[in-house]
């Protein structure tokens, strides 16, 4: 499971694609050439992964609300509210996704073992905040898409603005709190899951993918929060070094299995080269991320592509076993 959502600079760069990449909680298929039965996944770990995956699904799907609010805020004077004379009023808002299944899964996970009181409560607050904001966004999206403000002189638009601002603030605060809880739990599960895969399979293709994506996420997490310009260069250097070590581990694996990771390895290696170029430019700008143009956005977008490819590669690696 590679965490990919951020409500910070990282969401500002590529909010649509950055979410949590769910962990694979799957009992491994027996290896074709191995008569011995495969070691089963730790049930306690599988239960925790299931809970996090349910919350992950909800956060990924409801990220659309963050994007929609950012869209609205890009053309509205948030203090004054809409007037109908805005230059980019046609931007409106993004429509939201149906999250019925994700809400149901998250609510079930909240009451399912293992108990994680702080995390479960944070999810409950997040659900309430989302359900308060979502109907307002939906009404506003339709209002601006239909240009109803031309008929009522922006009366409903102003009324919606007064309701949406506090609801959005509550939602974003709840999401930030939940992100913190998820990040802490994910860090622990990452290490446990990686150790579990190694115990069952050795440093297999799946181990290589998971290890690489854990290190890749550390690089993304080293980028500054939204609104901040200065990169912690020491933290970024440490993260890049960790990712580089993961790529070297893949190189060693490829010596044993040249056909393994054929889809994943090339993209992962290329991303390392991009990271080093990005680091060099940041060094020249003394860590000011705003002085490297669109490099950060490009880097995050390619990370998101790597996340998607990792999911496919994980599935294919299970089929090869």
Whether the pLDDT of residue 191 is over 60: the answer is yes
Side-chain half-sphere exposure of 174, counting CA atoms within 13 A: 25
Instruction: Determine the pLDDT at residue 313.
Output: 86
Give the span between the Cα atoms of 260 and 254, in whole angstroms. 7
Q: What is the CA radius of gyration of the chain?
A: 22
pLDDT 10s digits, 104-139: 999 999 999 999 999 999 999 999 999 999 999 999
- Whose tokens are 């440093």? That residue is 203
pLDDT 10s digits, 212-221: 999 999 999 8
pLDDT 10s digits, 76-90: 999 999 999 999 999
Instruction: Determine the pLDDT at residue 196.
Output: 92
Instruction: Determine the pLDDT at residue 320.
Output: 58
Whether the pLDDT of residue 26 is over 90: the answer is no
Three-state secondary structure call for residue 263: helix
Instruction: Determine the pLDDT at residue 316.
Output: 76
Residue 303 in contact with residue 220, Cβ under 8 Å?
Answer: yes
Where exactly are the structural domains of the chain?
A: 51-181
For residues 228-254, average pLDDT: 95
Instruction: Determine the pLDDT at residue 185.
Output: 87
Whether the pLDDT of residue 7 is over 60: the answer is no
Phi-psi region of 154 (alpha: psi -120 to 50; beta: other; left: phi over 0): left
Average pLDDT of the chain?
86
**DSSP character at residue 146:** T
């Amino acid at each position: 499971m590679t965490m990919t959502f951020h409500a910070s600079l990282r969401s500002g760069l590529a909010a649509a694609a950055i979410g949590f990449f769910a962990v694979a909680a799957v009992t491994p298929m027996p290896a074709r050439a191995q008569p011995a039965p495969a070691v089963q996944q730790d049930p306690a770990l599988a239960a925790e992964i299931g809970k996090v995956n349910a919350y992950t699904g909800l956060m990924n799907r409801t990220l659309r609300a963050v994007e929609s609010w950012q869209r609205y805020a890009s053309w509205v004077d948030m203090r004054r509210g809409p007037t109908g004379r805005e230059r980019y009023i046609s931007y409106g808002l993004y429509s939201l996704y149906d999250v019925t299944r994700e809400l149901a899964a998250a609510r079930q996970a909240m009451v399912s073992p293992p108990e994680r009181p702080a995390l479960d409560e944070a999810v409950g607050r997040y659900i309430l905040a989302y359900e308060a904001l979502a109907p307002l966004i939906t009404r506003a999206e339709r209002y601006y898409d239909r240009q109803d403000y031309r008929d009522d002189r922006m009366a409903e638009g102003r009324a919606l603005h007064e309701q949406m601002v506090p609801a959005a603030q509550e939602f974003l605060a709840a999401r930030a709190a939940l992100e913190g809880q998820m990040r802490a739990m994910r860090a622990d599960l990452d290490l446990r899951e990686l150790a579990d895969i190694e115990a069952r399979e050795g440093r297999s293709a799946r181990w290589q993918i998971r290890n690489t994506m854990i290190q890749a996420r550390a690089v993304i997490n080293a980028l500054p929060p939204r609104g901040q310009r200065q990169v912690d260069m020491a933290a970024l250097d440490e993260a890049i070094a960790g990712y580089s070590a993961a790529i070297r581990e893949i190189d060693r694996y490829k010596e044993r299995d040249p056909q393994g990771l054929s889809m994943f390895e090339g993209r992962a290696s290329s991303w390392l080269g991009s990271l080093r170029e990005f680091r060099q430019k940041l060094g020249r700008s003394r860590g000011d991320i705003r002085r490297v143009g669109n490099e950060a956005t490009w880097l995050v977008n390619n990370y998101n592509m790597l996340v998607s490819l990792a999911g496919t590669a994980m599935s294919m690696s299970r089929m090869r076993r």
